Amino acid sequence: MFKTGGLLVSLEGIDGCGKSTQFELLQARLAEKGIPFIAVREPGGTAVGEGIRKVLLQTSYSLTTEAEMLLYLAARAELCKQIILPSLREGKMVLCDRFIDSTQAYQGYGGGLDLRWIKQLNWQVTGGRLPDLTFILNLSVEKAAERRGSSLDRLEMRDLSYHRRVQQGYLKVARQEPERVEVLDAAMAKDNLFTVLWSKLQPVIEMYYKMRSDHDFQ
């Protein structure tokens, strides 16, 4: 951990599981503690990335899974080169609302693309920098749909079996990399879920700052 500098934390899970909610709570907690960080969301975070996000969420386009995956990777390439990797090199903490595992779960396990191909492309665009810690917010497809309500974008309109494959795919990713990935039960109330998330993240942040010894963590 921390070999390449900085601290990279990602939040993952199916749409409606509560990522953005926890992301907000996390940013508030870090701000309260005076811990510097930058927060990015995928796809997006750069001018080109936000343009790609619009293309991906348009209901009028029908994209092949390959094209969809490559658009996500293009957005990620920009985000990594322009923001994530330079910030990590400066020793900053970077929070990502979705990152590499979304591609494995959605286009790989959900869409049936070759998982090794995705892994290889992820490796290329991230320079091989894996997150130090990834939280997968695990929630049933039915509960997530309930939370999302009725207005669905292009990606959310897919059938239930697709979303189930994605949700199960996330759990497979977690089983493959247990040292990096923490699965949290996202069915909890948001404040309780955040308490669990913070209890896992806090020691990692403490360890990071102890190693750098240039910031008093309280």
Ligand X SMILES: Nc1ncnc2c1ncn2[C@@H]1O[C@H](COP(=O)(O)OP(=O)(O)O)[C@@H](O)[C@H]1O
Q: Which stretches of the chain bind Mg ion, using CB under 5 A?
A: 19-20
Please choose, out of 8-16, 57-65, 77-85, 174-182, the segment that lies near ligand X by the rule CB under 6 A: 8-16
Q: How many CA atoms lie within 13 A of 165 on its CB side?
A: 15
Interatomic CA distance for residues 145 and 105, integer angstroms? 17
Binding mask 55-94 for ligand X (x = CB under 6 A): ----------------------------------------
State yes or no: residue 193 binds ligand X (CB under 6 A).
yes
State yes or no: residue 13 binds ligand X (CB under 6 A).
yes
Binding mask 141-170 for ligand X (x = CB under 6 A): ------xx----------------------
Residues with Cβ within 8 Å of 187's Cβ and at least 6 positions away in sequence, in order, are 139, 140, 143
- Are the beta carbons of 11 and 142 closer than 8 angstroms? no
What tokens appear for 182 in the block? 């923490």
Least distance between Mg ion and beta carbon 139 (Å): 13
Least distance between ligand X and beta carbon 29 (Å): 16
Distance of CA 89 to the CA centre of its chain: 20
Least distance between ligand X and beta carbon 17 (Å): 4
Least distance between ligand X and beta carbon 111 (Å): 19
State yes or no: residue 16 binds ligand X (CB under 6 A).
yes
Could you list the residues that contact ligand X (CB under 6 A)? 13, 15-21, 147-148, 188-190, 193
